[in-house]
């Protein structure tokens, strides 16, 4: 795959996640208190190299000049508690506040990820939105069809990232698993 095919694939994943997130926002709308200005989840996250590269390219090509605020652990893209690059936000940012399904990861004594004999799934949710949900009641509240399967989305993203690392544009990122959003503004190269 060339860089354009990879970026188009990444944009398709983002579009699909946004579409599914929008569906869940409509479904759970009464429970969602997160709105523009809520930045509780907007921390200094790290991104896969493909996400970081794409975001950097969009910021660089933006017509507006952008100077990050002093964030102290918050996302560098926040301006007055709102995302200044909302339409270009990474995958994880598109899922904030919604119920998310993850495959629980297990590791051996050396820290190597191992596949469990029986997969163990976990649902996480925002306590600010779903205030009455507990570990005991989550299965009653969240239908399996009405949560974001992050294993599925992250698998697509990881595959695209692997292809990206094979490209000339991805070469500077080889050997880097994740890169802080803060680094968009502290380094000129990955």
Top-ranked range on mean pLDDT: pick from 3-17, 36-50, 172-186: 3-17
The answer as to whether 44 is a domain residue is yes
Could you tell me the pLDDT band of residue 117, with boundaries at 50, 70 and 90? confident
The answer as to whether 190 is a domain residue is no
Q: Pairing between strand 78-79 and 82-83?
A: antiparallel
The answer as to whether 113 is a domain residue is yes
Share of the chain above pLDDT 70, in %: 94
Q: What is the mean pLDDT of residues 93-122?
A: 85
Model confidence at 187: pLDDT above 60: no
Instruction: Please tell me the predicted confidence (pLDDT) of residue 61.
Output: 87
The answer as to whether 124 is a domain residue is yes
Q: What is the mean pLDDT of residues 149-153?
A: 94
Residue 91 is encoded by which pair of tokens? 């995958």
Total number of domains constituting the chain:
1
Could you tell me the pLDDT band of residue 185, with boundaries at 50, 70 and 90? confident
The answer as to whether 151 is a domain residue is yes
Helices 3-28 and 150-165: crossing angle in degrees, nearest 10, is: 160
HEC letters along the chain? CCHHHHHHHHHHHHHHHHHHHHHHHHHHHHHCCCCCCCCCCCECCEECHHHHHHHHHHHHHCCCCCCCCCCCCECCCEECCEECCHHHCCCHHHCCCCCEEEECCEECCCCCEECCCCCCEEEECCCCCCCCCCCCCHHHHCCHHHCEEHHHHHHHHHHHHHHHHCCCCCHHHCCCCCEEHHHHCCCCCC
Q: Is the pTM of this model over 0.75?
A: yes
Residue span of the structural domain in which 69 resides = 3-184
The answer as to whether 24 is a domain residue is yes
The answer as to whether 12 is a domain residue is yes
The answer as to whether 29 is a domain residue is yes
Q: What is the mean pLDDT of residues 56-63?
A: 86
Model confidence at 49: pLDDT above 70: yes
């Amino acid at each position: 795959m060339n860089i354009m095919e990879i970026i188009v694939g990444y944009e398709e994943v983002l579009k699909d996640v946004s579409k599914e997130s929008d569906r869940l926002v409509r479904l759970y709308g009464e429970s969602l208190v997160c709105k523009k200005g809520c930045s509780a989840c907007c921390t200094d996250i790290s991104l896969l190299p493909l996400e970081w590269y794409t975001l950097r390219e969009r910021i660089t090509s933006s017509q507006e000049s952008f100077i990050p605020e002093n964030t102290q652990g918050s996302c560098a893209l926040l301006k007055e508690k709102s995302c200044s690059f909302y339409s270009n936000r990474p995958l994880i940012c598109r899922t904030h506040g919604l119920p998310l399904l993850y495959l629980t990861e297990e590791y051996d004594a050396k820290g190597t990820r191992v596949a469990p004999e029986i997969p163990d799934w976990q649902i996480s949710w925002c306590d600010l939105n779903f205030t009455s949900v507990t570990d005991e009641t989550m299965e009653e509240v969240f239908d399996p069809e009405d949560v974001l399967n992050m294993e599925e989305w992250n698998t697509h993203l990881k595959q695209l990232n692997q292809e990206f690392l094979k490209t000339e544009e991805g070469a500077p990122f080889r050997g880097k698993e994740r890169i802080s959003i803060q680094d968009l503004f502290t380094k000129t190269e990955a």
